[in-house]
Structure formats: C-alpha cells, structure tokens
Amino acid sequence: MKIQLRKNALTLAIAASLGMSGMAVAADTSSSIKGQIVGPQGNPAADTKIIIVHEPTGTRRVVTTNDTGTYNASGLRVGGPYTITIDSNKFRDAELRNVYLSLGEAQKIDQQLSELQMESIVVTGTPVLFNSSANDTYYGADAIKSTPSINRDIKDVVRNNPLVVIQPGSDSSMTIAGSNPRTNSITVDGIPLNDDFGLNSGGYPTQRNPFPLDALDQVTVQVAPTNAKSSGFTGGNVDAVFKSGTNEITGSVFYEKMTDSWAGTPKNNGKEVPLEFEEENYGFSIGAPLIENKLFFFGAYEKYESPQSIEWGPAGSGIGANETKITQNDLAEVRKIASEVYGVDNIGGADTQPQLEDEKYIIKLDWNINDYHRANFIYMFNEGNRTNNMTDDADDLHLSTYWYNKSEKLNNFSSTLYSDWTDDFSTQISITSKSVETGQISLDSALGLGDISISNIDVDGDGVTGDISFGSDASRHSNSLENDLTTFKFDGTYLLDEHTLEFGIKYDILDVENLYLDGSKGVITFNSLEDFAARQISRYTYSNGIGNNPDAVAAAFKRKDLALYVNDRWDFSDELAFSFGLRYERLGSDDKPAFNQDVLDRTGFDNTYNLDGADIWLPRAGFTYYMNEDVTIRGSVGRYAGGNPNVWISNSYSNDGFSRQNFSASDVTAPANILNTIPPEAIEGINNANRGSVSNFIDPNFDIPSQWTYMLNADVTLDIPGLGDGFAWTTTAIFTDKENTAEWVNAALLQEGDVVGSTADGALPFYDTSELEIMLTNADKNGRSIILSTGLSKTWDNGFKFDMSYTHQDITEGNPGSSSTGRSNYRYGHFLDHQETQIGTSSYETEHRFVLNLGYSTEFIENYKTNFNLFFERRSGSAYSHLTRWQNLTGGRFFDQDLIQPSGFGSTFGGNYLAYVPTANDANVLRYEGTTEAEVLAHYESLGLSGYAGGFVDRSAATSPWTTTMDLYVSQELPGFTKDHKGEVYFVVNNLLNLIDSSAGKVYTQDFGTRNTLNMDIDPATGKYIIGAPITSDYKFEAEDSTYRIKIGVRYNF
C-alpha cells in the first residue's frame, strides 16, 4: 500500500499509513482538509465519500471525491478529535480517528485504498500541543494554559516564536520579524483586535490583553503567508480562535494573586528600588450544549484588580519607594500660596492611590444548521483603565491633579456563516462590528485647572531644587476619541481537479471621531516659587479652535476600504505543491480636510488629499516540495501592505493650519484667577488671530507603503543516535525589501531660497523660515531586512519536551514612525538633516536571540498530572543613536520648530540631531561653554565614539545591554469533588534567574532609541559650534522587569 508522509503538521502519530501536510493559509476562523484518494493501483478513486465527524459536537461533513480522486472540506471547526471515514463502494474502507486540525491550516490527507478482501484500515492519532518554526507557529489550548504568563497575555504565548520579541515595560510592545509594533495584525475568531487608530504602543485597542486568556482554543503566528487572503500587516499576523461549547458541560474557575511580598527588591547600581504592588486576577469559563448536536454555548469572564503603586513622593514624606528633590516643606509652601494668592485650595496630592481595573468577557454561540451549513455568533467586551503621568523621576513632582485616567471600552460583535453548497464549492460570509471608546481624563478635572509648573523650588535653602507640576496636563485639556470598524467579508473555495481556488472580497468601514487640542485650559510656567507668590508668569500659552471652540479642531472622518483577492493552491504532484495569489486593495473616503489656501501658497501642495483612490496590487507565489519523508522545503515571494495607523491620517484633519489658533505671552503679571480661568486677552487673542498654526497633510502623490518578502524554509526530521528519533529541525531565511516607506518632511522648506547658510563645516543648513507644514510622503530611501533562524524541537514519550532556536536579524530603516503625530515623527527621527531620509540600523532589530523552552509532564500522584514549563530567552539590546541636545548658550540664535535659524528670538528647544564629536583643536568649534575640551573628548572616549572625531556619529551606532529572561510555570492537579472534576494549584516565577542570583536578570532600555551626549549651540556669525557640558544620562532601569515576581493561582476544572 502506498503511504505518503507529511511530518510538519499537527498529527504526527497518524504517520503509520496516512500522509498529512499543511500549507499555511490566511488569518481565518476555521480549518480545512484536502487530499487525494486513490485505489490499489494508484488510479483516482472517484465518487468516494469522505465522512468527517467532529466528535465533541457531532458536527458532520460529507464530501465526495471528483474525477481526479481529489476532495476538499473547508470551514471545519479547529481542534478535534475528528473521525474521518473514507467510504468507497469499490475498495476497502478506511477510518482515521483522533485527527486534530489547526487554525488556518489546509491539512492534506491522502489515502491509498486496498482491495475489498483486505482488512480495513484504522489509524489513531494524537494532537501535538506545540509546533514552531520561524515563519509559522501553532499553540494549542494546553500549551496556552501552561505558558509561564505573568500578565495572562497572548503575547506571553507567542514570544516562543523565534521572530516574536516582547519589549519590557507596562505596554509590552510586540515586534515580529523586526517590524514596527504598529504594523502587526491580531485577530481572534475573525475579529480584528489591532489598535486601528494607533495611539497604544502595546498594539491592542485596550490597556491589557482584550479577552480572557482561558477562552483561547488555538493561536497561530504567521510571517509572510503566501495566501492572498492575508493582509493588513507587514510585520506578522497573530491569529487565534475562541473555544466552542460541546455536547458535554465543561468549564473552569480560577483565582490568581501576586504581591510585592512574593517578589524581590530590584537594585540599580547598588541602590535598592522598592516596589509596592498587589494584583488579583479571577474568572471562569463554561461550555455547554443548548440543543445536543445542534446549538452550543461558550462563555468566559476575567477580572483584574490592582492598586496602582506610587513610585515617587516628596522627600521625608514616606510616600512611594523613591524620594523627589521636592520636600514636604516645598509642597506645603506651594499649597499655601495657591490658596492664599490664587484662591485654589485643592491642587492635588502625592499620596492618592489610583485603582487599576480590567474586566473582560466573551460569549460564543455555535449553531449546526444542518450537515451543510453552520454559523456562529460572538460578543466580546473589555473595559480597563490605567493612571498615567504620575511622577517618574526625582526632578519634577507631579501632583494627582496632573495625573490622568486612560480608559478604553471595547465592544465587539461578530457572526460567520459557513456553507457547503456542493462537494466542490463552499463559502464563508461574516460581518464584524468593533467599537472602541478612549478616555483621557485628568483626575479632579472638574476643578478646571490649567497646566501649571513651578521650577527651581528650594524652601529649605539647601541648594537642592526641584519642580512641581499640577493641574490638568496640556494634552488632556480637550481629548476624546471613538472609532468604529465594521467589516464585511465573503470568502469562497472551489475545488477544480488538483486546484483549490479561493476568492473573496472584504469591505471595511471605519468611523473616527477624534478631538485633540492641547493647551485649551492654559499652560502656565513659573520660574521660581517667588514668581509663583508674586504672580509673575515666565510664559503663558493658550490654544483653541476658531471662535474659542475646541470642537473646531475635531477630526471626524469615515474610511471605506475595499479588498479583492484570488488564490490558487495547486497540488502539482505528490511531492510538489504551488500557491499563486493576487490581492487588490483600494482606499476610499468622501471626507476631506478643510482646504487651506495659505498651505497651498507656501508649499505648492493641496492639503485636502485623503488617500481616496489610493490602491495597490499584492501578488504572492509559493511552493512546497516534499523531498522525502523527512525533508520538506518551502519557498515564497510576496508583496505585503498594511498596519499603518490611522492617526497619521487623522493628523491632516486635526491640523489643517487655521482651525487651531495659539496665544502666548512672556514675563507678565497674572490675575489672581489665572490658575483656573482663561484671561480675556487670551480669549481675544484667539478671536483676532490672523496667523496660521502648524499644518499636517498628505502628499497628493503618496503611495501605499509596502514590502517584498522572500522566504526559504526547510523542515527536517532527524534521528540523533543516543538521544532518539523524530527531532524536528527547521531553518528559515527571510529577505525583505521595503517600498514607499512613510516619511515626514516640512513642505515649507521644499521651495527654493529657504536655505540661507550652514554651519562652518557645511553639515547643517540654516533656514530662513519658521513655518511648519508637515507633509506625510514617501521616503526616497528604504530599509531592508535579512533574517536567519534555525530551531530544533523534540517530544519524548516520558513527558519531556524541548524547543530551542537562534535568530539573527540585520534590519535597516529610515524614519521609524514611532509617534502618533506627524510633527513628532518629523522632529524625533534619528537624522542629521530632517529633510533627508537617513538609513540606519532599525530600532526594532534584535541582532541575536536565543530561545529555549523546556517542558516536563509526569504523575507524582497517580492520575493527577504535574507540569513544569520553563521559558528562557537571551537577546541583544536595541540599537540607539547618540544625539546633541541643542541649548541656547549665546542668546544669539534659537533652535525652534525643528529648524536651525541664525536669529535671536523665540524658544530654545528642538528635535533630534545626531551628535557632533570634536577633534582636539577643532577648527569647527568656536569655544567650550561650561566645560573644557579635555572633558568633552574624555566623555566621547567613554562612550566609544572617538572614532567619529571631526564629524557626526552614525545613526544607531550603539546598542542597549543584552537582556536575559527566564520564567517558570509549575502546576499540580488534585482530586475534585467528583470523579470527572479536578483541582489545580500552580505558580509562575517571572525572572527566575534573579531569584537564583539577585545580581542577574536586570533589564535596561534606551527610551525612544536615543541618548543625549552633550549640550551644543551654533554661533550665528561664524557657523561654528559652541560645545556645552557633557550629559551623563544612563540607560533606563526597568525595575519591575529586573526582579523576580511570583504569582500563585488555583483552578477548578469540571
């Protein structure tokens, strides 16, 4: 009998007489089975019935082979077990039991039937819980549950993939294949869970993982899938599916707790950084039949609660783990002045204990309409919050009125109809509605306070000065956001001989209502406590919409995006399969930004372009070659687009250049009600304003950013003498060439005559304008990536398993696009000239990454499992750039609006410019201010930058320290109240390495991929540099990630 073996899929145990293979398809909500049935002589067994039964629900699907003996069954439930009966009226039947299917996987099952007089074939398989390669990874429900997850986050699961890196910090941003976290896609049961607007660096539309982790049935990670059905990302796609109810009532209840009593105290340079926290997590899940074999219910609920820790407090107060330079006496004096001089009794406190909460649940109904049609309905809800803008350093004490509550409320509805119209033709029709409301409200906002900061406070006269900030911070003065996404999808599959043709249409409608107006309550700066007492304001700014109406700058627009695709999966032979696809995407919108004639006059560009009509073709091609039983080779080439945040588009609506007006005054005496009342002259200034503000717009010739990705992969099954057989070795090479990368330029500088000079060395131009017309355009240079990954895995019958991998990345980029605003993306790129794209090592590159997963399952107590799972990661740090911090050291020029100008008015701040490294007796240096040449040269020597002497450092010339992560999960089953019930106790140790060695496991990062080296100015007369004092800032110490934390949980399964 002919046997075909495909070992790269889930059910490896069916290898005895069954060939199985998988070709990854698009982000999906189901699985499929396809293959060819032949007779004893290898001839096609036409008209053979394939009876597929999902045992837990009785869901039944029957297809018949065509004239070539080929069949296809799509829209199947994920998981299993399935029983597949091959029913022939000419040959001996065959039965396959315990077949398990994975999400989005086209599982190939070929079978050669025997003569009638031969004995029937029965093959039994078992599920593989975890399967990983660089470009395609699968995780089952048990693997999800046993992942050492401290935050109950799907990111803790997918970080096992060699290409997925989770960054430290509260946002836990996720990079896939070295991409910007904003360019990834996350879908669960077809519901898009991306941050569509693009404000959250964590990638979710919510503060935390948006769904109960116990609700997940399967998770897959895909990079560069060949099916044209996939899109919406250039990094990677995380796809998952929720559990469904079955004919049995099953469920679980859990409770988890983590507290600082079960954690270490992190130390940075020998100094302890105490942590105070207490977190509780609890929830349940239940699945049940509503009508046996017909209608099923599944639901899951989870709640997270934690008092948010206060890390900083006034010196001597005992508040927080760290002391600021502000003392209790300093704070008391500020309170006194605020009350007696301004009549404001409440300016906030330092000891307010905010509460962090997160509540989420899902409800899923599955309906077996008949043998040929089934449907589901899903509702998902999540609401969570986090208090932001709390004090985070010793210099500036933020009182509670300066804090704000960031909240999100997510509502999702989704329904899908799966229909099998004939043996050869099936469809999926779905509709999804997602609504996200984002709130950013200052604590005690009803007080009406503006943004107030007081500098250089030293009541005790000990020479230690600090700052105090209170009132609503400027960015929260007028801030609201709601976006609604409705998606319609139709997907069809048609079997034509050896070709599986897929085609479909997707239509997205995105409604955005965004109001962002900073400074509409006034921003007030006092240079000293004495000035605060005397009502002497050093600078006052006020912004508002035309007519002093904040709603005048609100962005309200609707996008209507269309996508069409066709794909052909061709089983050319038993050993070779091809995939060819083509996708077309077209962006649409009827809403345009308000026209600004001044922008047209200054730049020559119309500011109303809204990407309506922008389109792109995305071709894909791939192959799978089964060299023999043990070697499979896959390759692909494809163009990918998507993942760019809509906030970049929203900037054009919110910043049209005239709807917002600004008022400012310096060195003035303020009225007594200035802290919570806008002065009449400021209101009048807005009403009479005749000068435009900063504008943002999109280049009318803008092309949709995309990338070409080339991938080659080999999966090999190895036998290693002395260690066993069945080792799975996978190696992947990926090359990506980016096209039309997003870039931001000041369009006001594209006209001739704006450059009026330069520095003495000619490196930095001087511009004779203060206009900022930020245009989103395409870069004239693009980055690329080269990724090599190899991994080895094995599971033994004795319960031990391991998975290990090494990945090397070499990634370059232009503008990283790390901000939500056009101005920040322009200002804070790592460039020498912000008008020119400069290619350098990507901030998202992880040059070296080692990953090891160890698992062991046994029964120390008979019939009750004990599980151990260890995750280990060792990776290199992120690249960052050394910068100059421009300061007005002469009063003769200013560095403002991101431009260097040889004039002496205005402010003294600016954007990112790469650092200049002088030589001894440098002719381009006029003098040293507040430092010496020797000190500066020694400073650059200590930073390892002496090799750049006489010029500017390269972009991304340094990397932050390596990071080591080791997390442990241990669980023990216990008897339940009945025979079929089981209890479970478990614990997770986060940063086990630090528990073993208190000096290990520390995490250091470099904020925003930059580091200031020294202060510098430019003499306007000569263009020479004036170099100020060196800056000795260090890496950011991630305290929570740098110590061990233990979470303890209990669970009851029924």
Q: Which residues pair with 524 in a beta bridge?
A: 452, 540
- Alpha helices, DSSP H, located in 924-963: 933-942
Which residue numbers in the chain have pLDDT < 50? 1-26, 128, 890-909
HSE-CB for 1034 with a 13 A CA cutoff: 7
- The H or E element that residue 119 is part of is none
Count the neighbouring beta carbons within 10 Å of the beta carbon of residue 1034.
10
Amino acid present at 597: Q
CB of 135 within 8 A of CB of 223? yes
The per-residue pLDDT for 125 is 54
pLDDT by residue (tens digit) across 272-320? 888 888 999 999 999 999 999 999 999 999 999 998 888 889 998 988 8
What are the Cα distances from residue 971, in Å, to 283, 853, 1051?
18, 16, 10
Q: Cβ contacts of residue 424 below 8 Å, gap of 6+? A: 66, 72, 494, 495, 496
**Cα 12 to Cα 840: distance, rounded to the nearest angstrom:** 44
pLDDT at 120: 54
- Give which of 867, 1050, 887 is closest to 971, Cα–Cα: 867
The domain defined by 132-244 folds into Ferric Hydroxamate Uptake Protein; Chain A, domain 1 (2.170.130)
CA-based end-to-end distance of the chain? 44
- Which residues contact residue 559 at a Cβ distance below 8 angstroms, ignoring those fewer than 6 apart? 508, 509, 510, 512, 587, 588, 589, 646, 649
| Rg, C-alpha atoms of the chain | 31
At 887 the pLDDT is: 67
533 in Cβ contact with 460 (< 8 Å): no
Is the distance from CB of 776 to CB of 603 less than 8 angstroms? no
**In DSSP terms, which residues pair with 76 in a beta bridge?**
31
The whole-angstrom separation of Cα 272 and Cα 605 is 56
Q: Give burial (CB, 10 Å; 0-12/13-18/19+) of 751.
A: exposed
825-862: pLDDT as tens digits = 888 778 888 888 899 999 999 999 999 999 999 999 99
d(CA 807, CA 790): 7
Are 935 and 943 within 8 A, CB to CB? no
pTM, entire model: 0.88
Interacting residues of 340 by C-beta distance below 8 A, sequence separation 6+: none
Tell me which residue of 682, 679, 677, 687 sits closest to 450, measured CA to CA. 677
Q: What is the rounded distance in angstroms from the CA atom of residue 595 to the CA atom of residue 609?
A: 10
**For residue 601, what are the contacts with CB-CB under 8 A and spacing of at least 6?**
none
Q: What is the pLDDT of residue 117?
A: 61
Top-tier CATH class for 12-128: mainly beta
Q: What is the pLDDT of residue 499?
A: 94
Peptide bond connecting 81 to the previous residue in cis, omega within 30 degrees of 0: yes
Cβ-based neighbours of 265, under 8 Å, separated by 6 or more: 272, 273, 274, 275, 1043
CB 344 within 8 A of CB 395: no
What is the C-alpha separation between 989 and 973, in angstroms, rounded? 18
| SS3 call for 333 | helix
- In degrees, rounded to 5, the angle at the alpha carbon of residue 655 between the alpha carbons of residues 650 and 657 is 150
Cα–Cα distance measured from residue 729 to residue 493, given in angstroms and rounded to the nearest whole number: 33
202, 644, 686 from 220: Cα distances, Å: 19, 22, 54
CA separation for the pair 139, 166 (Å, rounded): 17
CA neighbor of 918 nearest in space, from 929, 910, 909, 908: 929
**296 with 246: CB under 8 angstroms?**
yes
Whole-Å CA distances, 310 to 273, 384, 393, 1038 = 12, 19, 12, 15
Residue 1006 has what pLDDT? Answer: 84
Give the list of residues 6+ apart from residue 375 with CB closer than 8 angstroms, or none: 366, 367, 369, 415, 416, 417, 418
Ordered by start, the domain boundaries in the chain are 12-128, 132-244, 325-351+372-553+659-676
- pLDDT at residue 267 in the model: 87
